[in-house]
Amino acid sequence: MTEILLPPGTRVLVTGGAGFIGSCVVRRLLSWPGVEVTTLDKIGYASDLTSIELVLEGLASSESPRHQLLKVDLADAAATDQAIRQADPDLVMHLAAESHVDRSIDGPGAFIESNVTGTFNLLQAVRRHWQELPQERQERFRFHHISTDEVFGSLGETGRFSETTAYDPRSPYSASKAASDHLVSAWHHTFGLPVVLTNCSNNYGPWQFPEKLIPVVILKAVAGEPIPLYGDGANVRDWLYVEDHVEALLLAATRGRLGESYCVGGAGDHGSASERTNRDVVETICSLMDQLRPDGAPHARLITRVGDRPGHDRRYAIDASKITTELGWKPRHSFEQGLEATVRWYLDHLSWCDKVRERAGYGGERIGTQG
């Protein structure tokens, strides 16, 4: 997407802007002339500013003030209120969240604090800010809440999630995100806060902290270590390349109908469905590794069945026809294109992976077994 959706001088606050999807949003916003971006992030274990810093290095020195970082934990209501006053945004894109299902099984309290209490504190601060704006700015202000398809529960062999699917969260993570979705909708209906919501499928791509399936498999294959495959490997996910997701987010944030939600999935018109079983994903990565790192071939020999995740949802899939019809969004990457680009990126950035895992104290071990 080359279209610029915001005029120069627009102030955008991105919560979770140092995270995987959030940093991709920040990078895209900084590519638009004159847009001023505030990254609000508590700088947790999965946060990293490297990709944003690379963009800032490429900007003219006169443009560097277009970005500021506020290190704030949304669980701190006073600090959140102060951050909103300092950023003075015209648009808030709320991506800050604890997001790993496995970690929510081991420690659900952090997910309630961040995703529920944090969203409440943010909504309260943003509502005060919005109500105090001059009328002209108040009329164009927007709050965009970014969520997950996991709030809808688990599908059988057929069907897809849509905006009318009933909520049925199954994990502490998805329950916390469902709660945050309902809070945002309530602040719209009760207080008139101008909001838009999106629910996305599984994101993948460069700069993702290496604890999720795709980067874990790549790094295990590089190291020649056993590649864990949960259960029978037949759980299905709808895979969405992060750059495609960000294009959808920016369309929804700027052009979506207020009070509406939009589902964003990876299926497009590439002649290739975005749904894959976990086994398919792992085996495809192994095939790519055989081509790119033939010394370790066949990498599929490393695939090792392990016990399943507690309460593991069987299948996710999204019907993205609403955002396609209303806003003209379509993903530009097939799963094959996106996955190959992702594998190549991780192989070229192994030192970054080592750095962020060491900083987080995470060595690639399995988590989420305490359920």
150 is catalytic: yes
Query: Strand 275-277 and strand 236-241: pairing?
Result: antiparallel
The catalytic residue among 81, 98, 173, 211 is 173
State how far the Cα of 236 lies from the Cα of 277, in Å rounded to an integer. 4
Task: Show the CA angle centred on residue 114, arms to residues 108 and 116, nearest 5°.
Answer: 85
Residue 49: CB atoms within 10 A of its CB come to 16
* Residue 306, beta-bridge partner list: 230
Tell me the C-alpha to C-alpha distance, in Å, between residue 40 and each of 13, 24, 91, 196, 253: 7, 14, 13, 19, 17
Residues facing 91 on adjacent strands: 12, 142
What is the spatial distance between Cα 84 and Cα 70, in angstroms, rounded to a whole number?
Answer: 10
Alpha-carbon distance of 340 to 348, in angstroms, equals 12
Residue among 288, 100, 259, 253 at smallest CA distance from 193: 259
Q: Could you please report the per-residue DSSP string of 282-293?
A: HHHHHHHHHHH-
Q: 90, 149, 181, 211: which one is catalytic?
A: 149
Angle between helices 20-30 and 50-58 (to 10 degrees): 10
Active site residue 149: yes
Distance CA 204, CA 131 (A): 37
- The sign of the dihedral angle between the CA atoms of 196, 198, 204, 209 is positive
Q: Determine whether 53 is an active site residue.
A: no
Task: Let me know how long the chain is.
Answer: 371
Name the catalytic one among 41, 102, 150, 243.
150
Query: Which amino acid makes up residue 343?
Result: V
Alpha carbon 153 to chain centroid, angstroms: 18
Tell me how far apart the alpha carbons of residues 15 and 97 are, in angstroms, rounded to a whole number: 9
Which residues are known catalytic residues? 149-150, 173
